[in-house]
Amino acid sequence: MHLANRSLVTALCSAVALCAALTGCAPQAEEKAPDRAAGATASCAPGKLATRATGKLTVGTDKPAYAPWFSDDEPSNGKGFESAVAYAVAKELGYDRDAVVWQHTPFNSAFAPGAKKFDFDINQVSISEERKKAVAFSSGYYDVRQAVVALKSSKAAKAKSVADLKDVKLGAQVGTTSLDFITDLVKPGEKPAVYQRNDFAKSALKTGQVDAIVVDLPTAFYITGAEVPEAEVVGQFADSPGDPEQFGLVLDKESALTSCVSGAVDALRKDGTLAALEKEWLSDALDAPVLK
């Protein structure tokens, strides 16, 4: 190549490089952001969610599945408040009853860190900021209060206030807000008894190993009405300051279904379905004295 031509090529290359550099530094037209609203609508298309099994909705819950949340320890029969809610949510999402698959999930495993074997779990799991670090929650489907159940012959049965519970032996299921109420609100003089399952706590109550146990209010009325007739609901705790305690459906932390499931719960609350199911299945959970 001649020297003159070589100089010309060099000059052209330098110009191209300079142009590229300037273009790279210059403001670029913003790439259009994806239409989130349209994407959400598409991802929530009835019966076409990105579920674990195509065309199926996998719902987790513990075993035994206690009344009044379930009936006859059989989540799939549609009886009991949470079984009915699960099927109502499924229908709202576009899944018929025969498309719902139940998956046994121990209570503590539902909101523990790690991948889940369900699309959502329903098992009286209270929404909390601590649990949100490991899992996602739907909107709340039930506003709950905690209650104290004691044998009628127990000294705990005479309690009229939170202070009256400080000197009694209390028990609750591990990992529950019931246990949190004991440790954080009552702060009893004796360390509370902690049980892996509620039926163990009930057995301890029956045999006098504890003076009283703390459970959610509907469960408290069921225990005294059907399981331990020699016990009574002593009272309920007042709502915590701020937002009320609520049960929520549990989803994997990164689940793409969370907004869809929350939308379904919100729709069921708005059209009165949740209130109707609560009246049908939890009507025995009447008012109890408030322990202040």
| Digit-coded pLDDT (tens) for 61-109 | 999 999 999 999 999 999 999 999 999 999 999 999 999 999 999 999 9
Q: What is the pLDDT of residues 205-221, one digit of tens each?
A: 999 999 999 999 999 99
pLDDT confidence bin for 3, thresholds 50/70/90: very low
- Mean pLDDT for 150-154 is 94
Residues in the chain: 292
3-state secondary structure 77-91: HCCCHHHHHHHHHHH
Q: How far apart (Å, rounded) are the C-alpha atoms in residues 176 and 276?
A: 26
Q: What is the pLDDT of residue 284?
A: 64
Q: Read off the DSSP letter of residue 239.
A: P
Answer for the pair 35, 97: CB distance below 8 angstroms, yes or no: no
pLDDT at residue 227 greater than cutoff 70: yes
- What confidence score (pLDDT) does residue 170 get? 98
Task: Give 8-64 pLDDT, tens digit per residue.
Answer: 333 433 443 433 333 333 333 333 333 333 334 447 999 999 999 999 999 999 999
Pull the structure tokens for residue 289: 């004295």
Structure token pair of residue 254:
């990164």
pLDDT above 70: percentage of residues in the chain: 84
- Measured from the Cβ of residue 129, the count of other Cβ atoms closer than 10 Å reads 6
Distance between terminal CA atoms of the chain? 97
Beta-bridged to residue 249, according to DSSP, are none
Give the mean pLDDT of the chain.
Answer: 86
C-beta separation of 264 from 93 below 8 A: yes
Give CA–CA dist 29/62, Å, rounded.
53
**pLDDT level of residue 285 (50, 70, 90 thresholds):** low
Q: pLDDT per residue over 233-269, tens digit each? A: 999 998 766 678 999 999 999 999 999 999 999 999 9
Q: Give the pLDDT score at 243.
A: 76
Q: Alpha-carbon distance 221 to 215, whole Å? A: 10
pLDDT at 106: 95
**CB contact at 8 A, 255 and 58:** no
Confidence label for 1 from pLDDT (cuts 50, 70 and 90): very low
Q: What are the distances in angstroms from CA 61 to CA 10, 53, 65, 75, 167?
A: 73, 17, 7, 8, 35
Enumerate the H helices of the chain as residue ranges.
3-25, 36-43, 81-93, 107-110, 177-180, 198-206, 217-222, 258-270, 273-281
- Please name the residues in contact with 81: beta carbons below 8 A apart, sequence gap of 6 or more: 68, 69, 142, 218, 277, 278, 280, 281, 282
> What torsion, rounded to 10 degrees, do the Cα atoms 111, 112, 114, 119 define?
-20
pLDDT band at 283 (very low <50, low <70, confident <90, very high): confident
Confidence of residue 286 (pLDDT cuts 50, 70, 90): low
CB 134 within 8 A of CB 128: no
Query: CB-side exposure of 114: number of CA atoms within 13 Å?
Result: 5
| Alpha-carbon gap, residue 106 to 149, rounded angstroms | 24
Q: pTM score, two decimals?
A: 0.80
Whether pLDDT at 152 is above 70: yes
In one-letter notation, the amino acid at residue 241 is: P
